[in-house]
Amino acid sequence: MPRKETFNSRESVVSAQPRIHQSAPPIQAYGTVSHALPLELEEPVRLEMTEQLNLLLADSMTLRDLYKKSHWQVAGPTFYQLHLLFDKHFSEQVEIVDEIAERIQLLGGVSLAMAHDVAETTRIPRPPRDREEVPVQISRLLDAHQIVIGHCRQLARRAVEVGDDGTNDLVISDVLRPNELQVWFLSEHLVAVPLAVADGSGMRKAG
Ligand SMILES: [Fe+2]
């Protein structure tokens, strides 16, 4: 029986050797969207939304990593509680990041992925490599949340204006609301109340 020919004569060689070190040009450039998709969303809308979502993605990835840094480096009497809380919020941010990145791909775009690109894109200020006190760690996290939340509110409104209801829903339900909840859990740790003996002076002006 004659040997079956393949289109590529190299493929006809049977070998257990993995073909490593392969390279080829990219199949889609960053900053573009697939031309036509059956989503009833025009290309310019998908371009704008994916660009905005990539900014939100970069900030969320940075916030996610800031939580892990805080989880590892936390110190002091509240170590155990905060060590666990920071890691819980980290895990929730992992899910948020995945939702945003997959929305970008769904809209025909290309999501940011690597740390180098995230570092060049995020609006969250770079923290030092050093360990910091708990109130500084929490303040840093709250400032990062504020950047994410502010962008969520803008982006959600814009998504409605351009008719991208899916992005509006994602930004409100899967990004904004979990971030608001995390802000609550964090900010309560910056309320100066006594641990063992009541102060007794009642409400005072914050200073
Ligand atoms: Fe851990």
Burial class of residue 171, CB neighbours in 10 A (0-12, 13-18, 19+): buried
Full DSSP string of 192-207: ---SSS----------
To the question of domain 39-189 being in CATH 3.90.1300.10, the answer is no
Q: Which residues contact 166 (CB under 8 A, 6 or more apart)?
A: 103
Q: Where are the domains of the chain?
A: 39-189
- Ligand 1: centre distance to CA 193 (Å): 28
- Ligand 1: centre distance to CA 43 (Å): 42
- Ligand 1: centre distance to CA 154 (Å): 34
- Ligand 1: centre distance to CA 82 (Å): 11
Residues above pLDDT 90, as percent of the chain: 88
**What letter does residue 114 receive in the DSSP assignment?**
S
154-179 pLDDT, tens digit per residue, is: 999 999 999 999 999 999 999 999 99
**What is the value of pTM for the model shown?**
0.90
